[in-house]
Chain A
């Protein structure tokens, strides 16, 4: 396992700037999650580290070694792709053994058998080892492709939305599994997702990308509680943070503030300005309130057993809200 450092890395595809001046340090043993919408440069960042793309500028170091000119094989990284990664003409066992049989690792067959069995156990697929890769269900396939990364002991594991194609139950199971693997192997992971639960539950660090730039890097709590911009604030939180112009509540906005950011926990419902209940969504463990407040839509949470109904009026007030300037930068 090793530390990975990107310094000033940029990458453009024709006219599209995919990654811009990226400075990112993945500490040894960290579980770093990259968050961002489609097109933010998350996958490109992974591919740059893996060596599948060549950076236009900047350097990439893995374990203190500049790998900019090395081939993917030489970089000693393992990667889990979003899809399509099992070799369809091989059995599950051969898929798992494939990295170990590479000319770089050239593992002895008895060692391969041992490692494959071990990984199969972890991923609950020992009974599937002799199946052809194409005979597996989607969930099993993805577990095998995670397994193909886990049989190795690389400098860093790169994972590109590995759970996105799985159903909710399997996703929850594998989240726990990955977290356990991270803890047990003391592995370094760089993990791309746009799923906030994955980010919040697994990450030791979260990096938020916006149009190829790293806009904030910190622990999941820091990113959630102390976002540097409205953009970062909008990446985490369900329902999303509500952004309203300042002054609607007659609050004391700090100098330069143009927007007030209200997460559900920032909205007190025991007095304040009147808001109209437009819709009530009962989700079981929580209830979402869609409010109409001075021509703005506001979404917040309330008690699951609320008796509020559409058409009623409640009073809301901000409680320790976040303030952003006109460009979305955090003011207070």
Chain B
């Protein structure tokens, strides 16, 4: 028996805590795993009851997601042998691939709009947060409250005015319009979070840099930014997750050119019956960027979530 320690948990409590965490993680991962598995099922397997856990994997869902197909006559099918493996998959339904679907385009729109608005939110947010943190700004508290107040209602409450405004400004269904909109929603979060992080960086660093021969902007760039990297990273994740997942405004304001993936994925359901594997494939691919981004920045994210709770 080892001696009791107040700060170091015992082996037994570590074991209990570990079991709890793993159990919780498994439970939360089941829907995610289910979606990912469904993407590799055949349509029949996807809706079978009882649900199938073991099944023969197929790329049918992914093929359907990325292509448009038409049904053809037997004569046509006989005259044109399948050109590749994807073709072969759709032949079992007497179909041929006639071209790519819109998914790639929509996904690319999501990337541009999601990362574009994240970059813009962080860029503006960092500058504003720095100014609020370091300079004497008249009515600073009121301005900060005003910035925060933009978050006090659900953004969709202003959907109609924004819709009309965007139509008049020619911003409807444009990448720029969506980037500006998501930036406007995210900027308050970015300013407040980043202000907290920058407040924690002692001014002495910049003052030292000023005396060492640098201008205010150089001091900001060389001394403050590297130290705010943690805060910037976690704020960026929060902004990206919002912009990436946003559905309501995307449905309302985009259609042909700037539509993002979230409003597009449900439309797959309507194409040739309830194609759940294709929907699941779309959801899986849609998940990946945020997942990768989050895993890459996970250390910073943890710091961001517990922000304010831990003193350096």
User: Would A73 and B226 count as touching, CB distance under 8 A?
Assistant: no
A87 within 8 A of B: yes
B202 within 8 A of A: yes
Bound Cα distance from A50 to B212, whole angstroms: 11
B75 within 8 A of A: no
**Number of interface residues, chain A, beta carbon within 8 A:** 24
B150 within 8 A of A: no
User: Would B227 and A72 count as touching, CB distance under 8 A?
Assistant: no
Give the residues in chain B near A84, CB-CB below 8 Å.
202, 204-205
User: Would A148 and B212 count as touching, CB distance under 8 A?
Assistant: yes
Q: Which among A15-23, A98-106, A187-195 touches the partner chain?
A: A98-106
User: Would A98 and B212 count as touching, CB distance under 8 A?
Assistant: yes
A85 within 8 A of B: yes
User: Would B226 and A78 count as touching, CB distance under 8 A?
Assistant: no
Of all chain B residues, the one with the shortest Cβ separation from A104 is B213
Bound Cα distance from A85 to B210, whole angstroms: 12
Bound Cα distance from A103 to B217, whole angstroms: 12
Give the residues in chain B near A85, CB-CB below 8 Å.
204-205, 208
State whether A71 and B215 are in contact (beta carbons under 8 Å apart), knowing that A87-B223, A89-B227 are contacts in the complex: yes
Majority-rule SS of B interface residues? helix
B76 within 8 A of A: no
Bound Cα distance from A98 to B212, whole angstroms: 7
Bound Cα distance from A99 to B214, whole angstroms: 8
Give the residues in chain A near B227, CB-CB below 8 Å.
88-89
Among candidates B202, B210, B223, residue contacting A73 with C-beta atoms closer than 8 Å: B210
User: Would B209 and A77 count as touching, CB distance under 8 A?
Assistant: no
Q: How distant is A308 from chain B, measured CB to nearest CB, in Å?
A: 48
Known: A79-B208, A98-B212, A103-B215. 20 other contacts (CB 8 A): A50-B207, A51-B210, A52-B207, A71-B210, A71-B215, A72-B207, A72-B210, A73-B211, A73-B213, A73-B214, A77-B211, A78-B212, A81-B207, A85-B204, A87-B208, A99-B213, A102-B213, A103-B218, A104-B213, A105-B213
7 CB contacts below 8 A, A to B, read A79-B208, A84-B204, A88-B227, A89-B227, A99-B212, A102-B213, A103-B213
Residues of A within 8 A of B (CB): 50-52, 71-73, 77-79, 81, 83-85, 87-89, 98-99, 102-105, 145, 148
